[in-house]
Structure 1
Amino acid sequence: MLKIGVLGLGNIAQKAYLPVFSGIQDQAEFYLSSRNETKLKSLQAKYRFPHVTTNMDELLEVGLDAVFIHTPTATHYTIIKKFLTAGINVYVDKPVSEDLLEVDELYKLAEQHDVQLTAGFNRRFAPYNQQIRQITGKQLITVEKTRVSAHQPVQEAIYDLFIHVVDTALFLANITTFKPTEANFSYQINADAAGILTNCSMTLKLDGLTVLAKMNMQSGVDHETATIESSKGIATVTDLETLTKDSASGQLSSSLAGWTPMLTRRGFEPLINEFIHSLSDRAYDNPVSPASSVLSHQLCQLMLDGTVS
């Protein structure tokens, strides 16, 4: 049976990961770690995980096959490096790091130690995003995220939120390699006087295809859409829950069945399952390829640097 560590038990771990882990304890033994002993014991009792520790280093001594890292972004580099160097596969929440040099270094380190580094880009695995990605003859892809009234510094917002928008757009366009130039890549960042992001956008131009990613932090509504326009019509996924197809013959709308688990609808459960399958069967590739993950980080960093190489 696989041995899998879980490091960090904050909001994302509790909402998106522990419920999935609790249902697959016949496939893996989970070892939870948090410095908050009260929280640790409470979650152990709730989900009946047998192994817990307040000492992260103890996870290095139990023969883990992999570790899920759900700690703050600022801690990612040091923690990921420690586990990769120990020969342990790593799954980490996005972003891998807010430093592109660290991102590159960590993926190279994973390759050197013949282990996986997987970034948690769950929206790739949302069922409707998977479905519209198969559309042929794509002409225009637009992925948009809006918030009611969010206030985050530019870099934090780009790496915390906009990277998901960028990654989803690249995924839908089947782009894993891209050399940005002044002719094929442009972006816009608007911030207030205090450096708080108000809105941003990114545009990629390829042969016959334009890819647009955009985000408005103060739109008055929480919303997320992904739209693909082709010669056959327009397909739009709204909030990962609804798919609308417009064509010359009319409009068709569908929603995921109510019994479809929320973590499946949002792509978390499929991604977790694919990662775990890849551990036990090397025929499975890394579910989030290193090249595609690095590209999402790279394009976000180019926006922040204000340069195109």
Structure 2
Amino acid sequence: MKVGMIGLGDIAKKAYLPVLTQTKGIELHICTRNVETLKEIAETYSINHLYHDFDHWLESGITAAFVHSSTESHESIINKLLDNGIHVYVDKPITYDAESSTRLMDKAKSKDLLLMVGFNRRYAPSYMQLKELAEPNMIIMQKNRGHHAGEVRQFIFDDFIHVIDTLLYLFPYPIENIRIRGKQENGKLHHVVLQLEAMQGTAIGIMNREAGTTEERVEVMSANETRMVMNVNEITSHIDKNCSTYANDDWQPTLQKRGFHGVISTFLEAAKTNSVPYKQYQRDLESHVIAERIVQTLGDRH
């Protein structure tokens, strides 16, 4: 299967190329306007199919493509890929607004093509263990950073959308109410709190960009057990007075621990078999719709 990749920035180099170049059964075609980057990647991974020109890359015979270009370019690139009958995997977010993201998702559905968003945490083994906890009554996720207050829309769509999507993945109930709070100073968003409410429980997402540290912590609570994961790796289970802490297999690759192996293989298998998971559309899009609601609630200056 011929698979394309466009955009060779940090995430492509760190997370996707190491996995894709070791994946059997695919022929990788990469495209970027940066000549030096293209040369560096080609030499590092011995890739022979290189493109500076987008149209030549588009006509190379690829049937699936990974889009790792700037978010501002996503809409144009995805439109052209879908028009050419090519399945698409795109880094989150699809675009910086829910309207255009919805339009692209509807277009993919109308053409029976994949438009899959790179929400890798759903495929992280530690978070899959959190998902196994039956009938949770409360979920709390914190994804904090130090000294990174930012413009509202980019803050929410570039970063906090991971929190939104993880809550939606772990929270098994229909959402009946949404509460949103945030702190802004001098046009910058410093922190945001999202609360999803259902009759059976509550899910709370927090991001503090002035926390003095970078950390990610998720707790899933039920009447019988509480499980917590720190930094997508260390898992703690509390049952009554008993506490057990264990980490993922030390020999397990970091990209597998963080869900990249799982999300990439899921996309490639679906593209290979032309299996379009329509539930995936709904889940991926819901994260963008809630992100837009947060932006509008806190004040859109886009």
Q: Aligning the two structures, in what range does the TM-score lie when normalised by the shorter sequence? A: over 0.9
Contact 2:229 2:235 in 1 (8 A): yes
CA contact (8 A) 1:143 1:214 kept: yes
Which position in structure 1 is the counterpart of 2:149? 151
Give the C-alpha shift of residue 249 in structure 1: 4.1
For 2:90, the equivalent position in structure 1 comes to 92
Q: 1:261, 1:235 → 2: CA distance? A: 23
Report the counterpart of residue 2 of structure 2 in structure 1: 3
Partner secondary structure for residue 138 of structure 1: coil
Secondary structure of 2:77's aligned partner: helix
- The reply to whether residue 225 of structure 1 matches residue 223 of structure 2 is no
How many pairs were matched up? 298
Matches within 5 A, 1:281-296: 281-282=273-274, 285=277, 289-296=280-287
**Structure 2 equivalent of residue 119 of structure 1:** 117
- The secondary structure found in structure 2 opposite 1:27 is coil
Match of 2:183 among 179, 190, 193: 190
- Structure 1 residue 105 and structure 2 residue 103: aligned? yes
Q: Is the 8 A contact 2:31 2:50 kept in 1?
A: yes
The gaps in structure 2 that reach 5 residues or longer are none
Percent same amino acid among aligned pairs?
30
Q: CA deviation at 1:208?
A: 1.5
Q: Confirm or deny: 8 A CA contact 1:256 1:265 kept in the other structure.
A: yes
Work out whether 1:32 is the aligned partner of 2:26: no
What is residue 51 of structure 1 aligned with on the other side?
A: 49
**1:204: Cα distance to partner?**
0.9
SS in 2 for 1:74: helix
Displacement, 1:151? 3.1
Out of 238, 244, 249, the position equivalent to 1:252 is 244
Aligned residues of 1:85 and 1:109 also touching (Cα < 8 A) = no
In 2, Cα distance between equivalents of 1:208 and 1:174: 9
For 1:82, the equivalent position in structure 2 comes to 80
Shift of 1:283: 5.0
The 1-side partners of 2:5 and 2:78 are apart by: 12
Per-residue deviation, 1:174: 3.2
Matches within 5 A, 1:144-183: 144-174=142-172, 178=175
CA RMSD of aligned residues (A): 1.5
Residue identity opposite 2:226 in structure 1? I
Give the TM-score taking structure 1 as reference length: 0.93
What do the CA deviations read for 1:203-250 (whole angstroms, capped 9, x no partner)? 111121101111000101110011101001210011001000111141
Q: How far 1:280 moved relative to its partner?
A: 1.7
- Cα distance per residue 1:37-90 (max 9 Å; x no partner): 111011001001110011111122122111100011111111111101111000
Return the alpha-carbon distance in structure 1 between the equivalents of residues 146 and 112 of structure 2. Answer: 43
Moved more, 69-78 or 276-285: 276-285
The question of 1:270 aligning with 2:269 is answered no
Q: Is the 8 A contact 1:150 1:218 kept in 2?
A: yes
Tell me, what secondary structure is at the counterpart of 1:152?
A: coil
Residues in 1 aligned to 2:92 and 2:265: alpha-carbon distance in whole angstroms: 17
CA contact (8 A) 2:112 2:276 kept: no
- Give every structure 1 segment of 4 or more consecutive aligned residues whose post-TM-superposition deviation is greater than 3 Å: 282-286
What SS does the corresponding residue of 2:210 show, helix, strand or coil? coil
AA paired with 1:295?
E
Identify the match of residue 228 of structure 2 among 219, 233, 236: 236
For 2:183, the aligned partner's letter is N
Contact map agreement 1:277 1:284 (CA 8 A) in 2: no
Unmatched runs of 5 consecutive residues or more in structure 1: none
Q: Distance in 2 between matches of 1:246 and 1:142?
A: 15
Partners of 1:137 and 1:38 lie apart in 2 by: 52
Query: TM-score, normalised to structure 2's length?
Result: 0.95
